[in-house]
Amino acid sequence: MTGTTARAHRTVSRVTGVLEAVARTDGARLHALAAELGAPKSSVFGLVKGLVAEGYLTEEAGVYRLGPALGGLLPPAAPEVAEAAVPVLEALRDRFGETAMLGIAVGDSLSYLAAAESPQLIRYSAPLRTRRPLYPPSAGKVLLAHRPESRRAACLEALLADPAARERAHDELRRVRAEGVAFNRGETLPDVSAAARPVLVAGTVRAVVAVAGPTSRIAARLETVADGLRDAVRTVAARLGG
């Protein structure tokens, strides 16, 4: 079928959840994977054995690690974007004194590939290579704003139960796409605020750059941060050939 909206599938979600959980560690045991997924060990056991058989995991003494088959699936794009962005993230951190992050869309989730953390004692610490919702993080808003209307609607429906809240989110995302910047003013966590802009290469969003920090310290500077992000994302795009 064509033209249908992507939706989560439990088995697929569990398989990808296993791979992502193993990727975040130096190896994981069955009980840890089952706890991570919130699934019965018997169900997860069948999945991991299948992944071992296909080469996507290896198993030694009950510890599962990523297998060689994954190498054939991984495109060079993500490392390329991260390499281009890291000096820019560091410059943003030094300029604003807050944490700068590079995010990409992973399915219907946001994942941070790289970060330059604030040197301040109280700071926002970005969780790397961990799925986060596309709404309301500022980076996720940017990614979601550039999706087709039908897919954006399906994602918001899954995330927001209140129709009025969904309509407000739709209005906000239209502004984000038109203006090229998104803000999160304490919506995910009351004590954290952020601004984000897309890295556009030939009209396609390759990634998003965000700066986040304690609301008490960054809220009054978000517009200034947004201005700084404009040049930053252009620099990353230029390094990617855009």
Computed over its alpha carbons, how large is the radius of gyration of the chain? 19
CA dist 76 and 35 (Å) reads 32
Helix (H, G, I), strand (E, B) or coil at 17: helix
In this prediction the pTM is: 0.76
> Who's near 65: CB < 8 A, 6+ residues apart?
22, 26, 27, 57, 58, 59
Q: How confident is the model at residue 234, as a pLDDT? A: 97
Of 137, 140, 78, 80, nearest to 113 by C-alpha is: 78
Residue 68, burial from CB neighbour count under 10 angstroms (0-12, 13-18, 19+): exposed
Which pair of tokens denotes residue 222? 């978000």
Neighbours of 72 (CB within 10 A): 7
Neighbours of 93 (CB within 10 A): 20
Residue 142 pLDDT more than 90? yes
39-77 per-position pLDDT tens digit = 999 999 999 999 988 878 988 889 999 887 776 665 555
Domains along the sequence of the chain with CATH:
10-72 (1.10.10.10), 77-239 (3.30.450.40)
Q: How confident is the model at residue 78, as a pLDDT? A: 66
Q: How confident is the model at residue 168, as a pLDDT? A: 97
Q: How confident is the model at residue 74, as a pLDDT? A: 57
Residue 2 pLDDT more than 50? no
pLDDT-based confidence at residue 171 (cuts at 50, 70, 90)? very high
